[in-house]
Amino acid sequence: MEVPQRDRATRRVAQPATPDVSRRCFVALGANLGDPVLTVNAAIRALREMPQTEFITASSLYRTAPVGLRHQPDFINAVVELNAAMSAPNLLESLFSLEERFGRRRSVKNAPRTLDLDLLVYGDLVRSDPWLTLPHPRLHERAFVLAPLAEIAPGLIIPGRGAVGELLLRCADQQVRILRPQAA
């Protein structure tokens, strides 16, 4: 999810009415400040209760090295699958609100964070504008997203990128360690 570094109010744009059908969506979770295992599990529970969505499943938790700014704690990552009965921009706004509830403050790119939620895939939607890029623009390059995604949706085809399993094989040099089966 590509979002310019602006305040929440400037991210809002007029959205079409809620779609008549649910869309299969995948959301990545990551945290490396405070107690990231506790935070990611709490965020998974919060996603279970998100309005206009149906929680399907969550991956196991994974420990991964930071990308970008390397001198920071390891991350705890997971992916959840939802069916969303709201537009992709509205879902993204709900994810931003959830991040804020968990104390997320945006500073520099790839900085340590209490919680990061990325909308990876929204049905078969392909979109690229200043507010939202789908599928997530770096999803296919990151084992910390692909490993938990492959766990819960091994047959998923990422629009414009390919099969999750094949994409994960291309990231074999990236260290990803499963913490325990199935998150909260």
Give the residue extent of every domain in the chain: 20-180
Contact, 64 vs 144, CB < 8 A?
Answer: yes
Q: Annotated active-site positions, please?
A: 104, 113, 116, 118
Q: Which CATH class is domain 20-180?
A: alpha beta
* 4, 7, 21, 141, 143 from 64: Cα distances, Å: 25, 29, 35, 14, 9
| Average pLDDT over every residue of 35-45 | 96
Tokens of 180: 């325990």
For the chain, the 3-state helix, strand and coil shares in percent, each to the nearest 5, are 25, 25, 45
Per-residue pLDDT, 142? 94
pTM: 0.85
pLDDT value at 152 more than 60: yes
- Token pair recorded at residue 41: 């599990």
Asked whether 110 and 66 are in contact (CB, 8 A), the reply is yes
| Average pLDDT over the chain, rounded to an integer | 85
CA-closest candidate to residue 29, choices 17, 38, 16, 18: 38
Tokens at 133, concatenated: 């890029």
